[in-house]
């Protein structure tokens, strides 16, 4: 019994405390453990850092304690920087270097968290002291540049510890340190640490990593995010060196690498959406059997956007950084326009250890997969021209491999048919998904950013020439939002057509699917602006695109009809007359210049038939414009009178067509005993009376205000803020895997 009673007595054990934590505590108590121990700092940096200690300890500090801890923080920061200058040949020094970089990341992150709550403190002074800051940061960034610029003699050397594992861990740690610096404040332009990155740029090493297939696979995502943050630092206030460098970048390998990183992120999103819809298809089918087809399909698509907030963030907000990266490249660099509209394929030659300088790396199969690939059809002439320009293009079957093949090395022998895709095709499909849900302001902003990117593309002459090339066609998947008045198609894949057709389809889909009481006026203005840019290019270049234009005309008429039906509610909240004017201007382009770009004369007949058939919509629109341009309707009428007057003037030719043909059609109807005429009979009347029609020549129909970033400064500030907050939450500073280094050391 005594033995049992003794064994039941609880054993009190002293909690284990890691040695590095003991060192941290000693330092923060103001002690100097290096006194009497000359090797203290050598041993200190051999131990794995404990980032969570910095966060908890510094987070507890009051304002006075934070100020009093400045010498301690300065000492740790200075020791970390000096450790980076030691000889990297010794294995133990390699550990010290990586741990010093991780310690710097944790220190900067923790101080930034604290100073974000206490705005009276300066991060630079707390970390380094003003007097030493410039020298320390120059040394730090010089060493980071050196570490990131390490070039492997062979791609296969990545598998060897002496070159691969160490440099991989070191690059990962350095990039996370740079991201930690860049993510210091919610408003990136208020981040004083970034001023050192402006004076000591890291642009060249970022481009180097994006140009290298092996490194881009591991670090391309971080590099693109970092470059996007740096480009947005005070870009509206002064000349940003990173923005300038990105605007003149002409390295084809780097541009393709940049595009592949963005495309991989978009492709991952599309894959998740496709899997989600496919998983829900079975439930939708069973519900449809019970008569709930619309509700079933709506729940499948809607549930993708209606989950918990973490799921929403993973689905939509996680791509804000990549969308901003795509925007900056498209907006700043005209060379990148060629990247997003051209074919991308795995072009690493067989048996070569390094990416060829003459054969650009566009190996999307080695990245995260893009969406189901576009079917590409090219004429012999187009293929020859492409090869002559140094770009090899080949037809592929699929960019989606099994998950086990997603990390396939670029050094593997390529298959006979290279896997091909196109970044613009992926972006169009991505846009068709995200624009289905615009009720939340954050998602509406995402669609707005997508439309800004498409507007920049639609303005570019070279992009338009490729998008309208009849020999360069793709099959683009566009997802449609379920609606009560239409059936969701089973097969959403379109036939192979020029990319301009897919872009027009996307804009038309937006027009017909977003006529809500909470009317997204800005998005509609953007969408019609994109359509206008495409039609203007066709008019100037005399390109006859084989497209079913009646879909566009019907969508525009439906939009005008919706605005009229909701006039009272809309006009009180917003000025809808400029939007109506854009729709009428598109019609006027077809009326005045359609002979230069419509594919067949019968298309002209169809246009006139549609205008006459829906004449009441245009008459009502004219009456509405006349009311607000001549009769006072309160303050809003005074504000919008000018735009209403422009709209009424723009309707002159459409009303002229209606007034010219309607009496003649009615006369033929009366001659046939008052019977309603068939479509063919109306078209006959139109053809017979073209010669007597007189129209007014309207100027500047093919002119538009080119996209400018300045009016959207507040929008981009908010988008970058969201990007910073989301990226900061997802960034893991302690995730560098040193296990293989420990085994091989």
- Could you tell me the residue ranges of all domains in the chain? 19-219+722-744, 556-705
Per-residue model confidence (pLDDT) at position 488: 64
Write out the two tokens for 157: 């050397």
| 3-state SS assignment for residue 346 | coil
Q: Which of 241, 433, 321 minimizes the C-alpha distance to 730?
A: 321
Pairing of strands 344-345, 420-421: antiparallel
CA angle 342, 547, 685 (to 5 degrees): 160
Asked if residues 719 and 447 have their Cβ atoms less than 8 Å apart, the reply is: no
Asked if residues 104 and 175 have their Cβ atoms less than 8 Å apart, the reply is: no
Q: What is the dihedral of CA 511, 513, 515, 517, to 10 degrees?
A: -150
| 3-state SS assignment for residue 421 | strand
Q: Residues near 567 by Cβ (< 8 Å), separated by ≥ 6?
A: 624
Q: Which of 336, 378, 364 minimizes the C-alpha distance to 463?
A: 336
Size (the chain), residues = 745
Taking the CB of residue 709, how many other CB atoms lie within 10 A of it? Answer: 16
User: Whole-angstrom Cα distance, residue 146 to residue 130?
Assistant: 25
User: Whole-angstrom Cα distance, residue 594 to residue 542?
Assistant: 10
User: Whole-angstrom Cα distance, residue 546 to residue 504?
Assistant: 12
Tokens 């950013």 locate to 449
User: Whole-angstrom Cα distance, residue 745 to residue 739?
Assistant: 10
Q: Residues near 684 by Cβ (< 8 Å), separated by ≥ 6?
A: none
Asked if residues 579 and 519 have their Cβ atoms less than 8 Å apart, the reply is: no
Residue 666 Cα distances to 518, 615, 673, angstroms: 40, 14, 11
Residue 745 DSSP code: -
Q: Which of 317, 289, 316, 287 minimizes the C-alpha distance to 299?
A: 287
Write out the two tokens for 471: 């020999």
Write out the two tokens for 123: 């991060």
Per-residue model confidence (pLDDT) at position 281: 56
Asked if residues 618 and 654 have their Cβ atoms less than 8 Å apart, the reply is: yes
Write out the two tokens for 482: 């379920």
Largest CA distance in the chain: 121
Pairing of strands 497-498, 473-474: antiparallel
Which residues lie across from 483 on neighbouring strands? 486
| 3-state SS assignment for residue 473 | strand
Tokens 């029609």 locate to 693
**Predicted model pTM:** 0.84
Taking the CB of residue 112, how many other CB atoms lie within 10 A of it? Answer: 21
Describe the chain by its helix, strand, coil percentages, rounded to 5: 65, 0, 30
Write out the two tokens for 516: 């809500």
Q: φ and ψ at 702, to 5 degrees?
A: -95, 25
User: Whole-angstrom Cα distance, residue 266 to residue 616?
Assistant: 43
Residue 422 Cα distances to 270, 476, 530, 637, angstroms: 14, 10, 20, 47
Tokens 């009646």 locate to 550
Residue 656 Cα distances to 591, 613, 625, 653, 710, angstroms: 11, 14, 17, 5, 40
Write out the two tokens for 463: 């992009």
Residue 18 Cα distances to 48, 58, 96, 139, 742, angstroms: 10, 18, 17, 31, 18
Residue 582 Cα distances to 447, 525, 723, angstroms: 20, 8, 33
Using CA of residue 340, residue 346, residue 351, residue 354, what is the dihedral sign?
positive
User: Whole-angstrom Cα distance, residue 430 to residue 200?
Assistant: 36
Q: Which of 745, 665, 638 minimizes the C-alpha distance to 93?
A: 745
Give the N- to C-terminal CA distance of the chain in Å, as an integer: 53
Per-residue model confidence (pLDDT) at position 675: 81
Which residues lie across from 474 on neighbouring strands? 497
Rg (CA), the chain: 31
Per-residue model confidence (pLDDT) at position 527: 98
Asked if residues 604 and 594 have their Cβ atoms less than 8 Å apart, the reply is: yes
Judging by beta carbons within 10 Å of its beta carbon (0-12, 13-18, 19+), is residue 717 exposed, middle or buried?
middle
User: Whole-angstrom Cα distance, residue 287 to residue 276?
Assistant: 17
Q: Which of 529, 655, 653, 661 minimizes the C-alpha distance to 592?
A: 653
Per-residue model confidence (pLDDT) at position 391: 37
User: Whole-angstrom Cα distance, residue 527 to residue 455?
Assistant: 8
User: Whole-angstrom Cα distance, residue 409 to residue 213?
Assistant: 9
- Three-state SS for 284-322 is HHHHHHCCCHHHHHHHHHHHHHCCCHHHHHHHCHHHHHH
Asked if residues 583 and 611 have their Cβ atoms less than 8 Å apart, the reply is: no
| 3-state SS assignment for residue 26 | helix
Which residues lie across from 345 on neighbouring strands? 420
Residue 189 DSSP code: G
Write out the two tokens for 674: 């008052």
Tokens 């909690």 locate to 15
Averaged over successive runs of 10 residues, the pLDDT of the chain (745 residues) comes to 47 69 91 87 91 90 89 95 85 88 95 82 91 95 91 43 67 95 94 95 94 90 97 95 96 94 92 79 49 47 48 62 96 92 49 34 37 43 40 33 37 38 90 89 92 96 94 89 68 80 96 92 97 97 94 97 94 93 97 93 93 96 92 61 93 95 91 85 92 89 93 95 92 66 51
| 3-state SS assignment for residue 349 | coil
The beta strands (E) that lie in 271-347 are given as: 344-345
Per-residue model confidence (pLDDT) at position 501: 96
Q: Which of 405, 534, 520 minimizes the C-alpha distance to 463?
A: 534
């Amino acid at each position: 019994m005594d033995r049992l009673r003794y064994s039941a007595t609880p054993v009190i054990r002293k909690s284990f405390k890691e040695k590095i934590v003991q060192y941290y505590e000693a330092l923060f108590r103001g002690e100097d453990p290096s006194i009497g121990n000359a090797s203290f700092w050598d041993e200190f940096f051999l131990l794995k850092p404990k980032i969570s200690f910095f966060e908890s300890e510094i987070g507890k500090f009051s304002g006075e304690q934070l100020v009093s801890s400045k010498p301690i923080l300065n000492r740790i920061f200075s020791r970390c920087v000096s450790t980076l200058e030691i000889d990297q040949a010794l294995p133990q020094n390699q550990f010290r270097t990586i741990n010093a970089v991780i310690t710097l990341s944790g220190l900067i992150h923790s101080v930034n968290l604290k100073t974000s709550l206490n705005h009276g403190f300066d991060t630079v002074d707390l970390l380094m002291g003003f007097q030493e800051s410039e020298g320390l940061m120059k040394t730090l960034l010089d060493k980071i540049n050196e570490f990131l610029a390490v070039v492997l003699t062979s791609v296969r050397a990545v598998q060897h510890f002496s070159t691969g594992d160490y440099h991989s861990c070191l690059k990962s740690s350095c990039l996370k340190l740079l991201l930690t610096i860049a993510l210091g404040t919610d408003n990136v332009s208020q981040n004083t640490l970034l001023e050192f990155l402006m004076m000591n740029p890291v642009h060249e090493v970022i481009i180097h990593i994006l140009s290298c297939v092996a490194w881009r696979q591991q670090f391309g995502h971080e590099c693109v995010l970092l470059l996007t943050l740096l480009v947005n630092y005070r870009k509206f206030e002064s000349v940003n060196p990173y923005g300038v460098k990105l605007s003149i970048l002409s390295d084809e390998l780097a541009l393709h690498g940049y595009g592949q990183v963005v495309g991989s992120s978009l492709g991952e999103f599309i894959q998740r959406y496709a899997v989600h819809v496919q998983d829900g298809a079975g439930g939708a089918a069973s519900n449809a059997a019970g008569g709930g087809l619309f509700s079933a399909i709506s729940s499948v698509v809607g549930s993708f956007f209606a989950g918990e907030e973490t799921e929403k963030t993973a689905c939509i907000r996680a791509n804000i950084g990549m969308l901003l990266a795509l925007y900056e490249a498209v907006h700043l660099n005209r060379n990148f326009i060629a990247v997003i509209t051209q074919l991308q394929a795995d072009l690493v030659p067989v048996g070569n250890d390094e990416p060829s300088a003459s054969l650009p790396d566009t190996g999307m199969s080695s990245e995260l997969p893009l969406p189901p690939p576009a079917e590409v059809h090219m004429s012999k002439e187009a293929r020859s021209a492409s090869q002559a320009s140094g770009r090899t293009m080949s037809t592929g079957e699929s960019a989606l491999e099994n998950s086990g093949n997603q990390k396939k090395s670029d050094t593997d022998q390529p298959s006979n048919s290279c896997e091909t895709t196109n970044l613009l095709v992926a972006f169009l499909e991505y846009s068709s998904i995200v624009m289905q849900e615009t009720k939340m302001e954050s998602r509406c902003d995402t669609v707005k950013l997508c439309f800004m990117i498409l507007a920049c593309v639609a303005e570019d002459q070279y992009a338009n020439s490729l998008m309208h090339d009849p020999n360069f066609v793709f099959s683009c998947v566009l997802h449609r939002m379920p609606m009560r008045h239409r059936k969701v198609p089973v097969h959403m894949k379109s036939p192979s057509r020029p990319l301009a057709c897919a872009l027009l389809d996307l804009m038309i889909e937006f027009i017909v699917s977003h006529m809500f009481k909470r009317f997204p006026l800005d998005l509609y203005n953007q969408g019609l602006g994109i359509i206008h840019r495409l039609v203007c290019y066709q008019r100037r270049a005399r390109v006859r695109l084989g497209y079913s234009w009646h879909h566009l005309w019907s969508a525009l008429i439906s939009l005008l009809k919706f605005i009229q039906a909701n006039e009272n509610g809309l006009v009180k909240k917003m000025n809808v007359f400029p939007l109506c004017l854009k729709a009428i201007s598109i019609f006027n382009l077809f009326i005045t210049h359609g002979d230069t770009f419509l594919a067949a004369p019968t298309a002209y007949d169809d246009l006139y038939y549609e205008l006459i058939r829906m004449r009441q919509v245009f008459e009502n629109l004219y009456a509405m414009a006349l009311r607000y341009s001549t009769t006072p309707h309160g303050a809003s009428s005074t504000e919008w009178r000018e735009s209403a007057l422009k709209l009424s003037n723009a309707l002159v030719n459409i009303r002229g067509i209606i007034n010219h043909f309607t009496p003649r059609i009615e006369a033929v109807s009366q001659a046939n005993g008052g019977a309603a005429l068939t479509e063919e009979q109306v078209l006959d009347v139109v053809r017979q009376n073209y010669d007597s029609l007189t129209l007014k020549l309207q100027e500047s129909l093919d002119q538009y205000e080119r996209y400018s970033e300045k009016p959207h400064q507040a929008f981009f500030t908010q988008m970058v803020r969201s990007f910073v907050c989301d990226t900061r939450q997802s960034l893991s500073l302690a995730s560098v895997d040193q296990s293989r280094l420990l085994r091989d050391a």
